[in-house]
Chain A
Amino acid sequence: MEQNKSIEAFTPWKDWKFHGVIILVCILCELIGAIPIDITENIRVTLLPLLYAMVITTALYLFKKFPLVDKKHEGSASFMMNVTCLILMAKLGINTGNAIDSIAEASLPVIFSNFGDALTCLIALPLGLLLGMDREVIGLTFGCSREGGIAVCEGRYGSKGSEFRGVMGMYIVGTVFGTIVIGLLTSICSSMGIFNLSSIAIAAGCGSASMSSAGIGTLALMHPESEDMISAMATASNLISTAIAIYAAIFIALPLAEWEFKLLYPILSKSGREERKKAKAAAKSGEKN
């Protein structure tokens, strides 16, 4: 529904200046090009034009004196994001079709890594509790910044709960930092030279659409000869995950996170410890009476 709204709100001739700014930003970023940074001898991080483009537009938006990128262009922007994502999907579909044989190979690892994703909250949830988070931590740690995770969380806890704030927080972190983190991780892993290129590509597809495109971009730049295989594996991983991650979240990750929260909240979280003390004191005074 929201998507239909943004389609009707689209007025190309009215917002042409805004689109003009965006294309200028894109041209500028493409002219700068990819910047490889060698952290150590065999760990190379590649900054991509897509990253500068995101940073520049965010900065232009936050810079209030620049009226050409403003809240009133929100409709146009989300519509154009939608349209360009569709073009990207068509391009990725063609890459996938061209490398259909290697995708069949990817299906087994992708299914298992999705059910294993549920286990990541074993590490991240205690950390969140130690940092003083409340129930937000459930939404924050049960999945890896996926569009489907938001829907699952909304269905289970409603959109007003703190769990939902957590899942939205994760999505924002994923969009802003996830692209950088995935780019870093893929380039570090592939320059280490221990892992198969296809394994890294499968892992690059683990997050949201923008995260996996950052991963594909970085890997394809480092191994241009296998661009088709990389994007096929990562896209397959992303597509298969989209279908499976929802079930993995409902049946494994969320119940596990709930159970872990109940177990660890009184021990690790400051407010949880205080609550436990109060409850004990209340129980004691109850005994006395």
Chain B
Amino acid sequence: MKKITSLQIRNMAIGLVVAVVFGTIGNYVGYSVMPLDTIPGMLILYAITLLGYLLSAVMPGNMPDMVYVSLIGVLMAIPVNPLSPYVVEHVGKVQLLAVVTPILAYSGLVIGRDWGAFRKLSWRAVIVGIVVICSTFFWSVFISELLLPISQGLLG
């Protein structure tokens, strides 16, 4: 069992409020979804996240909180769950990109901090890294093109 203090729970709860405000503003500015329409979905996301965070502390095994959060999200939305249509409808109004933009805005600071280490690695690592990413990507596309029909056949 992981130990989490009440201070950590409080900070998580406050941090989530900040994230919800960010997402609501982003959803309004970038995608013209009115805040009143966004808020129910955001509250659902808030509850799922906090619940997942608390579960990761209570449950045995040192699983990362992300696993629990994503799992609860899945369980809330699978068609078997009677709440699913309600959850899917409201969370659907929260645009994915409105949630992602703040993450990358914050990550800019981390990148700036590691800038020195990054410059030392120089252009060679960049070239090799990009080749790795491209080959992984194309390999994955080709394999999926080949195997998707097979697995669709197996399931259907």
B141 to chain A, nearest CB (A): 4
Query: Knowing A4-B8, A79-B15 touch, does A172 contact B109 (C-beta < 8 A)?
Result: no
Q: Is the CB of A49 within 8 A of B145?
A: no
B111 to chain A, nearest CB (A): 5
What residues on A are CB-neighbors of B111 within 8 Å? 54, 58, 61, 172, 175-176
Q: How many A-B residue pairs have CB under 8 A?
A: 384
Bound-complex Cα distance A60 to B111 (A): 11
Bound-complex Cα distance A140 to B128 (A): 8
Q: Is the CB of B143 within 8 A of A90?
A: no
Q: Which residue of B lies closest to A215 (CB)?
A: B137
Count of B interface residues, CB-CB < 8 Å: 97
- With beta carbons under 8 angstroms apart, the residue of B11, B66, B101 that contacts A53 is B101
- With beta carbons under 8 angstroms apart, the residue of A23, A62, A97 that contacts B84 is A97
Size bracket of the A interface: 35 or more
Q: Is the interface of A mostly helix, strand, loop or mixed?
A: helix
Q: Is the CB of A116 within 8 A of B11?
A: no
- With beta carbons under 8 angstroms apart, the residue of B19, B49, B108, B125 that contacts A173 is B125
Bound-complex Cα distance A227 to B95 (A): 10
What residues on B are CB-neighbors of A198 within 8 Å? 144, 148
Q: Is the CB of B145 within 8 A of A93?
A: no
Q: Which residue of A lies closest to B9 (CB)?
A: A7
Q: Is the interface of B mostly helix, strand, loop or mixed?
A: helix
Query: B111-156: which have CB < 8 Å to A?
Result: 111-115, 117-118, 121, 124-141, 143-148, 150-152, 154-155
Q: Is the CB of B137 within 8 A of A196?
A: no
Q: Is the CB of A53 within 8 A of B105?
A: yes
Write the residues of chain A forming the contact surface with B, with a CB cutoff of 8 angstroms: 4, 7-8, 10, 12, 19, 22-23, 25-27, 29-31, 33, 48-51, 53-62, 69, 71, 73-74, 77-98, 100, 104-110, 112-113, 116-117, 119-121, 123-124, 127-128, 131-133, 136-137, 140-141, 143-145, 165-166, 168-170, 172-179, 181-182, 185, 189, 195-196, 198-200, 202-204, 206-207, 210-211, 213-214, 216-217, 220-221, 227, 231, 235, 237, 239
Write the residues of chain B forming the contact surface with A, with a CB cutoff of 8 angstroms: 4-5, 7-8, 11-12, 14-16, 18-23, 25-26, 29-31, 45-46, 48-49, 52-53, 65-66, 69-79, 81, 84, 87-88, 91, 94, 96-115, 117-118, 121, 124-141, 143-148, 150-152, 154-155
Sample 6 A-B pairs with CB under 8 A, ordered by A number.
Answer: A30-B29, A79-B15, A83-B12, A84-B99, A98-B79, A105-B151
